[in-house]
């Protein structure tokens, strides 16, 4: 929660942007991941404090740098209105680095542990959906499992196991602080998210429209699999369905994760198992903010150009074969000549390596 100062006004550009969007599922989020790892034989635990807007890491602090540092160019715009942003957040993160060291020691006591590798994580963030609903969470995990999280409705903590009840007792008692955290998630966090979206709008609010392609694979059982490949899109939110005769089809549908490309766009796939005779009834239906209208893509016979391409390739191969044949013929005649010449000198011709046809 390093960002508790100077709330920006609601940003008209964002309002226009969100209202102007289609019925897509687009949303924006700000998240922080704070991780401390204690390892046997290490005096000081590793520590990192990393901030994301949507899926973009924009700030980071760790035990090596001990500074809160920019990870994207647009965040430098923050300095104009908030000159001590970096200094303030550096001190804040350093404070957490110290307290996480203590937390790890306390947790080891709660769990009766004496050393070993242990991880304590704190995750918090907020989300602004394009129907203007908001979400926020504040939670902790120990050794990869839920430890405790804030229930914003009751302003109490939910302990995931018995040791976490020690923490719950301590934290439930501080009602004011829990109230402050709720306000942070519901107001401050959202305001800063909007500010960051404005600073980074060239990258964060851009849309790259998806390329959609359907390929086909024959299966062993006489059926076939149609694969809808969707790539090159941004933002990550996308709706993809297989339809049959225009109705959403769910049977034998498999899907891949939405994965990042190195250029900041995403790709994914959906497949459906079909009877080859019914292939034409299926379409891949895609909705995305980058598309003015949803698209429906069916499998298509490869372009008729393919025949031409195959023709050209075969032609080139033939030409190469003919030329190779001519080259071999001349090489052989030459070798034959050389071999003859060599034997004329009365020396052993076995070193040429070429069998001379007879
Ligand atoms: C610490 O942060 C710096 C700068 O962001 C980065 O280059 C470095 O790899 C990080 N170190 C660790 C151990 O994560
Ligand atoms: C730790 O040890 C104490 C005393 O032996 C025991 O009461 C407690 O249940 C143990 N806690 C865990 C998490 O194993």
Residues 101-128 have a mean pLDDT of 95
Tokens of 221: 């059982």
Per-residue pLDDT at 329? 59
Ligand 1 pocket test: which of 45, 65, 90, 94 has the largest number of ligand atoms within 8 Å of its C-beta? 65
Could you give the strand order of the β-sheet that contains 247-249, starting from the edge strand earlier in sequence? 247-249, 239-244, 282-287, 295-297
Picking from 43, 37, 77, 48, the residue whose alpha carbon sits closest to that of residue 204 is 77
Using the mean position of ligand 2's atoms as its centre, give its distance from the Cα of residue 148 in Å: 19
Least confident residue range of 117-126, 131-140, 230-239, 298-307: 298-307
Q: How confident is the model at residue 71, as a pLDDT?
A: 97
The more confidently predicted of residues 282 and 343 is 282
**7-56: per-residue pLDDT in tens?**
344 444 454 444 444 434 478 999 999 999 999 888 888 999 999 999 89
Nearest atom in ligand 2 to 112's CA = 1
pLDDT at 356 over 70: no
The pLDDT of residue 8: 41
Residue 321 alpha carbon to ligand 1 centre in Å: 56
Q: Are the beta carbons of 192 and 9 closer than 8 angstroms?
A: no
Q: Which ligand is in closest contact with the Cα of 161?
A: 2
For residues 354 and 1, which has the higher predicted lDDT (pLDDT)?
Answer: 1
Q: Show the tokens assigned to 262.
A: 């190195």
Q: How far apart are CA 270 and CA 228, in angstroms?
A: 5
State the burial class of residue 26 (Cβ atoms within 10 Å of its Cβ: 0-12, 13-18, 19+).
Answer: buried
Residue nearest to atom 13 of ligand 2 (CA): 111
* Domains within the chain, CATH numbers bracketed: 27-204 (3.30.500.10), 211-297 (2.60.40.10)
Cα(62) to centroid of ligand 1, in Å?
Answer: 6
Query: From the CA of 60, which ligand is nearest?
Result: 1
For residue range 302-349, list pLDDT tens digits in order: 776 655 666 666 666 777 666 666 665 555 555 544 444 333 333 333
Least confident of 160-169, 243-252, 269-278, 329-338: 329-338
Mean pLDDT of 80-107: 96
Instruction: List the beta bridge partners of residue 310.
Output: none
Q: Whose CA is nearest to atom 12 of ligand 2?
A: 111
- 154-167 pLDDT, tens per residue? 999 999 999 999 99
The alpha carbon of 69 and the centre of ligand 1 are apart by a number of angstroms equal to: 10
Element (H, E) at 151: strand 145-151
Q: CA 282 to CA 292: how far, in whole Å? A: 22
Three-class SS state of 203? helix
Choose which residue among 112, 142, 145 to substitute to test ligand 2 binding: the one with the highest number of ligand atoms within 8 A of its C-beta.
Answer: 112
Longest dimension (CA), the chain: 108
Distance, CA 146 to ligand 1 centroid (Å)? 26
Bigger pLDDT: 250 or 8? Answer: 250
Residue 128's nearest CA partner among 257, 14, 286, 209 is: 14
Q: For ligand 2, atom 5, which residue shows the shortest CA distance? A: 112
**The predicted structure's pLDDT at residue 334:** 52
Task: Kindly state the DSSP code that residue 30 receives in the 8-state scheme.
Answer: E
Average pLDDT for the chain: 85
Average pLDDT of span 253-280: 95
Return the residue whose CA atom lies nearest to atom 7 of ligand 2: 112
Which value, to the nearest 10 degrees, does the dihedral of the CA atoms of residues 184, 187, 188, 189 take?
A: 80
Q: Of all helices (H) and strands (E), which one includes residue 62?
A: strand 56-62
Of 104-118, 218-232, 256-270, 299-313, the range with the lowest mean pLDDT is 299-313
Q: Which of 79, 145, 80, 153 is nearest to 107 (CA)?
A: 145
Q: Taking residues 240-251, what's their average pLDDT?
A: 97
Q: Is 242 exposed, middle or buried (0-12, 13-18, 19+ CB in 10 A)?
A: buried
User: Which ligand is closest to the CA of 63, given by its number?
Assistant: 1
- Tokens 């965040």 label which residue? 75
Buried-state track 298-324, b at ≥16 Cβ within 10 A, e below 16: ebeeeeeeeeeeeeeeeeeeeeeeeee
């Amino acid at each position: 929660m390093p960002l508790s100062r100077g709330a920006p006004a609601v940003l008209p550009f964002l309002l226009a942007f969100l209202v102007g969007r289609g019925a897509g599922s687009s949303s924006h989020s700000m998240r922080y991941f704070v991780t401390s790892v204690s390892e046997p034989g290490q005096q000081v635990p590793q520590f990192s404090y990393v901030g994301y807007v949507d899926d973009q890491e924009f700030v980071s602090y760790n035990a090596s740098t001990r500074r809160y540092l920019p990870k994207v160019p647009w965040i430098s715009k923050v300095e104009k209105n908030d000159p001590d942003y970096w200094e303030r957040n550096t001190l804040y993160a350093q404070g957490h680095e110290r307290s996480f060291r203590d937390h790890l020691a306390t947790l080891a006591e709660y769990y009766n542990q004496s050393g070993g590798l242990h991880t304590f994580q704190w995750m918090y963030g907020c989300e602004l959906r394009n129907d203007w609903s908001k979400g926020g969470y504040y939670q902790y995990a120990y050794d990869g499992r839920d430890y405790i999280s804030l229930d914003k409705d009751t302003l109490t903590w939910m302990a995931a196991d018995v040791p976490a009840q020690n923490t719950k007792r301590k934290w439930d008692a501080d009602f004011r602080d829990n109230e402050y955290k709720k306000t942070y998630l519901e107001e401050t966090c959202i305001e800063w998210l909007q500010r960051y979206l404005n600073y980074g709008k060239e990258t964060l609010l851009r849309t790259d429209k998806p390329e959609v392609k359907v390929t086909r694979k024959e299966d062993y059982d006489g059926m076939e699999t149609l694969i809808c490949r969707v790539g090159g899109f941004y933002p990550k939110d996308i709706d993809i369905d297989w339809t049959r005769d225009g109705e959403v089809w769910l049977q034998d549908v498999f899907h891949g994760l939405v994965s990042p490309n190195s250029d900041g766009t995403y790709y994914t796939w959906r497949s459906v198992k079909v009877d080859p005779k019914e292939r034409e009834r299926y379409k891949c239906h895609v909705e995305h903010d980058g598309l003015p209208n949803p698209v429906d893509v069916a499998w298509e016979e490869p372009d008729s150009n393919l025949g031409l391409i195959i023709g050209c390739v075969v032609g080139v191969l033939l030409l190469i074969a003919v030329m190779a044949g001519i080259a071999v013929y001349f090489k052989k005649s030459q070798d034959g000549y050389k071999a003859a010449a060599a034997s004329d000198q009365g020396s052993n011709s076995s070193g040429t390596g070429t069998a001379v046809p007879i």
